A and B are shown apart, each in its own frame.
Chain A
Amino acid sequence: MKAIVGVKRVIDYAQRIRVKADKTGVETVGVKMSMNPFDEIAVEEALRLKEKGHVKEVVAVTMGPQQNQQILLNAMAMGADRGIHVLTDAPLEPIHVAKLFKKIAETEKPDLFILGKQAIDDDSNQTGQMLAGLLNWPQATNISKVEVEGGKLKITREIDGGLQNLESSLPAVLTADLRLNEPRFATLPNIMKAKKKPTDKKTPEELGVDVNPRIQTIKVDEPPVRQAGKKVETVEELLEGLKKLGVI
């Protein structure tokens, strides 16, 4: 099997998010960027499927500006076999990303897409579902377990209030949730090796995908600040306060 994993470059999860003064977005200058954590989990799962002998090749795909090359190198340092970089400075929406993945699927003919369930910047949680729809493939989102058995996938998904178990045929699109695995760290020798792994560069134009925005960001605001709370000394005072606020 061939697996394609998607890797997005986002503001590192540990960074403090600051809204720009002109409200056009959030501050990215001088801010540490990393691979989207859910994408790291997706890469790890593809590598584990390879180590178990189910997957032969893991191809990592990133989309975005030149700097995304670093994220692709990270994926290859973890163990992905090669990379594809869809080079563009246009801000991409999930529908664009899904269409670009579909084009890549037409030439790469993968059996499996593993993507992160969402990116921690726009929190959309859409790309995997859209890709599955465009390809007319089965989808399993928010997965916390996957096993290959008799040419089928046995999947556990996280749903509201618990877990759902599914069986799916291949090819399929999966999206990784937090508890699927713990991603490995790239070792120094593997980081060196990654630099020698092949990377294809393509543009949305070459792939024939229109990436004109469908959605316009009007402004980005700070969330409303909460007023300083009231300190109470006793349980009775707390209860009184709750009654005053009308929640008990």
Chain B
Amino acid sequence: YSTLVLGEHDNSQLLPSTLSAVTAAKQLGKEVNILLAGSFKDAGAISKQAAAIAGVNRVLVANNAQYEHATPESVSPLLKKCQDKVKATHIIAPSTASGKNILPRTAALLDVSAISDVMKIQSEDTFVRPIYAGNALSTVKSNDPIKVLTIRTTAFDKCADNGGSAEIEDIDGDASEIHTKWISEDTKKSARPELTAANVVVSGGRGLKSSENFKLIEELADELNGAVGASRAAVDAGYVSNDLQVGQTGKIVAPQLYIAVGISGAIQHLAGMKDSKVIVSINKDTEAPIAQVADLILTKDLFEAVPQLTKAIKDSRGK
């Protein structure tokens, strides 16, 4: 019996979310298998990358054009096939847009329930996950023979990407009849890390007052190699596009450092970021509810404080 991790990649490199999923898999104390399904130019290179992850036993590689865009219609039947091959008792994927798209479909094909957004593995059948946007934590026990889990990457440290020496094995999936056709993707070609995967997030709220002023947020984020986020109020006011929204109805983030700038901290925003390790609030308003979750509170005009902070960080790096 073993675990099967669905590796995430961009068809050339593994993504860091895979390392968090492997950490979760290792906690179950069983053999760890990784499935790489994609359309790889250099299957050898990405397979070796996966095989080098510490603690991985076997890498299954399905290199076929039908897996290029990770459509659930193609990957779910393949996962089912691999589950049978390695007799996996646990199938694990990071709880990303892709993982959430694929794993429930796989669970249905296996006739089992799925458990989303696992934050903690208590035993091989008992898991902790957030409900009500993190306003409560539910401990659940699965009675299914196969557990299908998506894991919150921020809750599992990335394991070492070297030191392993897994076997590599090619696997052929069956040709699936695919009824969806991938047309295009408009992803921000940004040098900044992706919001839900970033170690540092700097978010701006209505206090920024304009779209132009978000430059202050961007400069601070760049200095910290972080991602840029926003409150719903800032999105509704049209300062930034809606894919930056952090909150119950936007993205849920839990970085090492979350800096909330000019954000009052509506419940709906707090639900999206309160699991961050360290929270900083920069806000003139001393009464703002964000202060209830913040570790460090700077009550100062953001237009003065943010550029100062950016500069101070830059200077301290220079030393």
A residues near B (Cβ < 8 Å) are: 11, 13, 16-17, 19, 26, 37, 93-95, 98, 120-134, 137-142, 154, 158-169, 172, 178-179, 213-223, 226-239, 241-242, 245, 247-248
A179 to B296, CA, bound (A): 33
Contact A124 B116 (CB under 8 A): yes
- Candidates B100, B126, B298; contact of A218 at CB < 8 Å: B126
Q: How far is the CB of A97 from chain B (nearest CB, A)?
A: 11
Q: How far is the CB of B268 from chain A (nearest CB, A)?
A: 8
A-B CB pair tally, cutoff 8 Å: 248
Is B186 part of the contact surface with A, judged by Cβ < 8 Å?
yes
Q: List 6 A-B contacts (CB under 8 A).
A: A124-B104, A131-B108, A133-B76, A138-B178, A160-B97, A166-B180
Chain A residues near B136: list those with CB within 8 A: 17, 19, 26, 220-223
Of B109, B114, B274, B278, most buried by chain A (CB within 10 Å of CB) is B114
A154 to B182, CA, bound (A): 10
Is B312 part of the contact surface with A, judged by Cβ < 8 Å?
yes
Contact B130 A95 (CB under 8 A): no
Known contacts A129-B72, A167-B180, A220-B137; decide if A232 and B185 are in contact (CB<8 Å).
Answer: no
Is B305 part of the contact surface with A, judged by Cβ < 8 Å?
yes
Chain A residues near B224: list those with CB within 8 A: 248
Is B134 part of the contact surface with A, judged by Cβ < 8 Å?
yes
A195 to B265, CA, bound (A): 41
- Candidates A131, A133, A137, A179; contact of B179 at CB < 8 Å: A137
B residues near A (Cβ < 8 Å) are: 72-73, 76, 96-98, 100-109, 111-117, 126, 130-144, 178-188, 194-197, 200, 224, 242-243, 248-250, 256-257, 267, 274-275, 277-282, 291-300, 305, 308-309, 312-313, 316
The interface residues of chain B, by DSSP majority, are classed as mixed
- Candidates A121, A161, A245; contact of B278 at CB < 8 Å: A245
Q: How far is the CB of A112 from chain B (nearest CB, A)?
A: 13
Known contacts A95-B108, A125-B104, A235-B308; decide if A218 and B140 are in contact (CB<8 Å).
Answer: yes
A160 to B134, CA, bound (A): 20
6 further A-B contacts with Cβ under 8 Å, apart from A133-B108, A247-B278, are A95-B108, A123-B130, A160-B97, A172-B179, A178-B249, A218-B140
